[in-house]
Amino acid sequence: MDGSADHIKLKAYLRKLLMGYGVVLITAGVCLLLFFGYSAYQAFHAPQDVQIVQYVMKLLNIQEPILKGRFSFQTPTGPQDASFQVEMSAQIKAIIFLVLGSMVFSIFVMIAKSVIEGGVSVIKGALYEGDIVRKK
């Protein structure tokens, strides 16, 4: 009978441990979401305070061509070399950075969402007893 009591105590301890771990995961996910939300707010309302926005603005001001090259082609008089370069306006660069930034932001939000869902699943697993879930 004493082994059964130890088993029940161990089970209760592991449940509390898993529930604590689930709460930590949920808290971490919520903190990440709050941080991402605050960063997005700062990027729109005070972009000079956000390092990544300053870096992107510095990249937008670079006036170098994005692609340079040289190619040869055959003419009736012989091979000739020609050089080319592709330049992009600051508006196109801004649109590209905006699209890429929103994709990266959505990936980070999905990671935080997954952390929260993992925490909820751990708590549900800790409360699971056979066919029923304890609701305490």
pLDDT average, residue stretch 53-81 = 80
pLDDT at 109: 93
Q: What is the CATH number of the domain that holds 82?
A: 1.10.287
49-57 contacts, C-beta under 8 A, 24 or more apart: 52/101, 56/97, 56/101
The per-residue pLDDT for 128 is 82
Q: What's the structural domain count of the chain?
A: 1
33 burial type by CB count under 10 A (0-12 exposed, 13-18 middle, 19+ buried): middle
Residue 12 pLDDT greater than 60, yes or no:
yes
Model confidence at 2: pLDDT above 70: no
Cβ proximity of 85 and 69 under 8 Å: yes
Q: What is the pLDDT of residues 76-115, one digit of tens each?
A: 887 888 887 888 787 887 888 888 888 999 999 999 999 9
- Among the listed residues 1, 26, 49, 54, the one whose alpha carbon sits nearest the alpha carbon of residue 115: 26
User: For the segment 17-37, what is each residue's pLDDT rounded down to a tens digit?
Assistant: 999 999 999 999 999 999 999
The identity of residue 31, as a single letter, is C
pTM reported for the whole predicted model: 0.70
Domain hosting 33: range is 2-133
Q: What is the pLDDT of residue 1?
A: 46
More confident residue, 66 or 35: 35
Look up residue 59 and give its two tokens: 């990249």
